[in-house]
Amino acid sequence: MKAVSWNVNGLRAVMGKNFAEVFSAMDADFFCLQETKVQAGQVTLDLPGYYQYWNYAEKKGYSGTAIFTKREPIAVTCGIGIEEHDHEGRVITLEYEDFYFITIYTPNSKEGLERLPYRQVWEDDLRAYLCALKAKKPVILCGDLNVAHKEIDLRNPSTNHGSAGFTDEERGKMTELLSAGFLDSFRELYPDAKDAYSWWSYRFKARERNTGWRIDYFLISEDLKDRLTGASIHADIFGSDHCPVEIDLDL
């Protein structure tokens, strides 16, 4: 099973660039998007052979997620069932007979860390949601989690320490999630890989210089460890300030 996750930072913009070509070339069983920034009816995608599931933010031009899959689920859930968190289109869960598949777009703590207190609540509630699912069957989750977990996951850890996406609080919550029984698929296979990033600022020629952050992930519950066969970061694919990330599982 091949799955791809991509924060497109505006689906309509990337559709005018290379989305169709990337989607076709990857031929994934699951293709997940974050930060679609669209409302219902604003975009029509002709994707033969794929079921389409969308979660739109109530605020126009903001957030939003989608999953396109060749495998029809037995149930689809948008959000995590908590009113405080379910207005921004950040989570889609597909249930299958043998696993759950989830895409997530974690809130950014923003400049000045103005949203960090909310982010901490989100992290705790999301972890509880994921653990409740994991207690029933294996979980695969992907998306822009808006955190570089370790110093190896960004080019300039010392100068970015305390910045949104690399605070002790955010990194600690990622550690808590992994400690709750999840594996970072890329680090599971490539624990020492350096210069492996999935997001680059549009400023200062960051992508050209590979001054990036790894904030896009595939996490799997520990009971899927032996099924993990591959994990990739497609830094050669442009169209957004993020690049697609991929996981391959024997499922």
Where in 84-138 does DSSP place strands (E)?
Answer: 91-95, 100-105
Q: Which of the residues 105, 129, 197, 217 is marked catalytic? A: 105
∠25-192-240 over CA atoms, to 5°? Answer: 35
* 105 included as an active-site residue: yes
Q: Which of the residues 50, 53, 100, 144 is marked catalytic? A: 144
Task: Report yes or no: 198 and 213 within 8 Å, Cβ to Cβ.
Answer: yes
* 62 included as an active-site residue: no
Q: How many CA atoms lie within 13 A of 86 on its CB side?
A: 11
Place of tokens 């904030």: 215
Which two structure tokens, joined as six digits, stand for 64? 């939003």
- Please return the burial class of 40, using the count of CB atoms within 10 Å of its CB with bins 0-12, 13-18 and 19+: exposed
**Cα(78)–Cα(247) distance, integer angstroms:** 22
Q: Show which residues are catalytic.
A: 105, 144
